[in-house]
């Protein structure tokens, strides 16, 4: 059985042209007559997913829907994929759960905040790519984060996503039992992205571990939430221990993103800008323009990477 399973998996990994396929880790979906991707307001019976998405090679995901619209406009212009005056309608306009935009081989999708929100999106996105028979897909999360010991505005490319106990694991409860998955990311892609940042030479970029938490306030040791039962010293001890464990930033989606993409054969990376240095404070109080410019940095880095991959940069 183990051999048969491994064989079937290898068979699914590549098609006859040697292209890497998106695979599901669920045999049930292939047998379904219709698949409703409820939170996208799309379905295999009402939409021609291969025609709509079959050419997708790069998927970029981020928390905010307006940021993902900005991103698709940016890559369209920067890489000459769109024409002046082109509009990018929201493909998921039938729902307000997520927003999705596309230009050429690039898909841009919002995922809201936190592990559960991005997990729902990824389940449906991976099924969408599977139904559309996409090949050789690279997926990159472009997000915001709190830095540890970095100048605000620095960009972190994630080497390893770790949990709030600094372990490279994603734990979830399935049918009432704990299941632990690894949070591996593509090391080659990390190095490619780092080279792209070198090409640009516009902002500081480091490779480091990223801590993924289930809460923004107590879960990240902030002192300014509605609840807090520890001291400034407790917080500093925790953040310094995180730094010693190689953690350079904290966000709320990377662990499940790494675990799910790895399980389904997607080459994945996480690129986040740091909005503040958590060793120096908790509140995000920089002026709006400064924060807005910071948030463009992962977009510029990943836009350059896509352009280079397409031979346009």
Q: Is 181 annotated as a binding residue?
A: no
Bridge partners (DSSP) listed for residue 207? 157
Token output for 117: 């929100």
Pick out residues in 205-244 that bind a second copy (CB under 8 A).
213-219, 221, 223-230, 234-235, 237-238, 241
184 binds a second copy (CB under 8 A): no
Q: Is 312 annotated as a binding residue?
A: no
2 binds a second copy (CB under 8 A): no
Q: Is 97 annotated as a binding residue?
A: yes
297 binds a second copy (CB under 8 A): no
- Distance separating alpha carbons of residues 271 and 186, to the nearest angstrom: 13
Cβ-based nearer residue to a second copy, 31 or 51:
31
Pick out residues in 120-179 that bind a second copy (CB under 8 A).
120, 122-124, 126-127, 130, 163-166, 172-176, 179
Q: Is 195 annotated as a binding residue?
A: no
- Distance separating alpha carbons of residues 299 and 296, to the nearest angstrom: 5
Pick out residues in 7-26 that bind a second copy (CB under 8 A).
24-26
- Distance separating alpha carbons of residues 198 and 183, to the nearest angstrom: 26
Pick out residues in 258-277 that bind a second copy (CB under 8 A).
260, 263-264
Cβ-based nearer residue to a second copy, 5 or 18:
5
Measured CA distances, 261 to 83, 95, 96 (Å)? 32, 24, 24
Exposed/middle/buried for residue 122 (C-beta within 10 Å: 0-12, 13-18, 19+): buried
Q: Is 299 annotated as a binding residue?
A: no
Binding residues for a second copy, rule CB under 8 A, total 72
Answer positive or negative: Cα dihedral of 101, 66, 303, 215. negative
* Binding-site residue ranges: 97, 141-144, 220, 222
């Amino acid at each position: 059985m183990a051999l048969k399973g491994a064989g079937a998996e290898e068979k699914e990994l590549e098609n006859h042209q040697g292209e890497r396929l998106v695979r599901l880790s669920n045999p049930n979906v292939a047998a379904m007559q219709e698949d409703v991707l409820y939170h996208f307001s799309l379905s295999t019976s009402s939409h021609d997913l291969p025609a709509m998405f079959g050419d997708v090679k790069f998927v970029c995901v981020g928390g905010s829907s307006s940021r993902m619209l900005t991103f698709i406009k940016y890559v369209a212009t920067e890489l000459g994929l769109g024409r002046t005056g082109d509009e990018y309608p929201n493909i998921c306009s039938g729902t307000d759960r997520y927003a999705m935009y596309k230009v050429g081989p690039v898909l841009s999708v919002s995922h809201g905040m936190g592990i559960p929100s991005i997990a729902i999106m990824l389940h449906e996105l991976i099924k969408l790519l599977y139904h559309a028979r996409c090949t050789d897909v690279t997926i990159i999360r472009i997000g915001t984060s709190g830095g540890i010991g970095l100048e605000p505005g620095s960009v972190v490319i994630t080497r390893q996503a770790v949990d709030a106990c600094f372990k490279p694991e994603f734990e979830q409860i399935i049918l009432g039992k704990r299941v632990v998955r690894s949070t591996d990311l593509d090391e080659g892609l990390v190095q490619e992205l780092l080279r792209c940042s070198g090409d640009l030479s516009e902002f500081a970029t480091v490779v480091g571990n990223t801590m993924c938490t289930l809460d923004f306030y107590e879960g990240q040791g902030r002192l300014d939430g509605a609840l807090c039962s520890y001291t400034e010293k407790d917080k500093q001890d925790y953040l310094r221990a995180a730094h010693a464990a190689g953690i350079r930033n904290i966000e709320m989606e990377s662990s499940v993103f790494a675990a799910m993409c790895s399980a389904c054969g997607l080459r994945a990376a996480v690129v986040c800008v740091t909005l503040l240095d958590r060793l120096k404070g908790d509140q995000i109080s920089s002026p709006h323009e400064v924060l807005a410019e910071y948030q463009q940095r992962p977009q510029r880095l990943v836009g350059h990477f896509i352009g280079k991959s397409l031979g346009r940069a």
